[in-house]
Amino acid sequence: MQPVKIAVMASGGGTNFQAIIDACASGEICGQIVGLIYNRKAAYACQRAQDAGIPATYINKKRAGSVEAFSSEILAALKECGAELVVLAGWLEILGDAVVEAYPNRIINIHPALIPSFCGKGFYGHYVHEAVLAYGAKLSGCTVHFVSAVADGGPIILQEAVPVLPNDDADSLAARILPHEHENLVKAVRLYCQGKLRVDGRVVHIEE
């Protein structure tokens, strides 16, 4: 089986990115990371790419000037590196329709809550955990899903619940969910690269 060419997109520290780097290096994922796209100059994900010898491309929406130009730059970068699968690993921008349409059911995202709760426009990073706590939810967790034109609205691949503890704040809840994000994102990418995910409408079947 030929390794799947994977492009990763990240905005921050890149711990999910690192989990994918490590899983590809160990052979757990039958994939090759062919590029990183990052949109914040301070993103530590860029350093992780440099350390792993992965080409990194900086693309910023404000610098691009419009959503359309931003999408065009992203598409050009993905095509240049030959990406077959795109993984959003802490990417804090909604992708334009042009990008989503170019990679149907080939863009995987990780969200730090149990979709369809606490998701969609404005729900990213610590805002998600703050909303969970403010609502008084007893469970949170993470969701790995394919990306569609609707923010956080694509078919769900994997989910895992994590209890919300009485003394939690956004930091402690985020810290407890993060290891489950790493595990589930790696598992979803592994299954994709093994050809074991089949999408039927909104339902993702895992064929193991």
Q: Provide the residue range defining the domain that includes 51.
A: 4-206
Provide the 3-class DSSP secondary structure of residue 50.
helix
Q: Counting every residue, how long is the chain?
A: 208
**pTM of the predicted model as reported, rounded to 2 decimal places:** 0.96
CB of 147 closer than 8 Å to CB of 9: no
Residue 16 has pLDDT above 80, yes or no: yes
**What pLDDT, in 10s, does the model give residues 171-190?**
999 999 999 999 999 999 99
Which of 111, 129, 145, 180 is labelled catalytic? 111
Q: Work out how many domains the chain is built from and give that number.
A: 1
CATH of the domain at 48: 3.40.50.170
Q: Average pLDDT for residues 37-65, to the nearest whole number?
A: 96
Residue 208 has pLDDT above 80, yes or no: no
129 is annotated as an active-site residue: no
Residue 4 has pLDDT above 80, yes or no: yes
CB of 8 closer than 8 Å to CB of 33: yes
**Cβ neighbours of residue 77 closer than 8 Å, sequence gap 6 or more:** 7, 35, 37, 57, 59
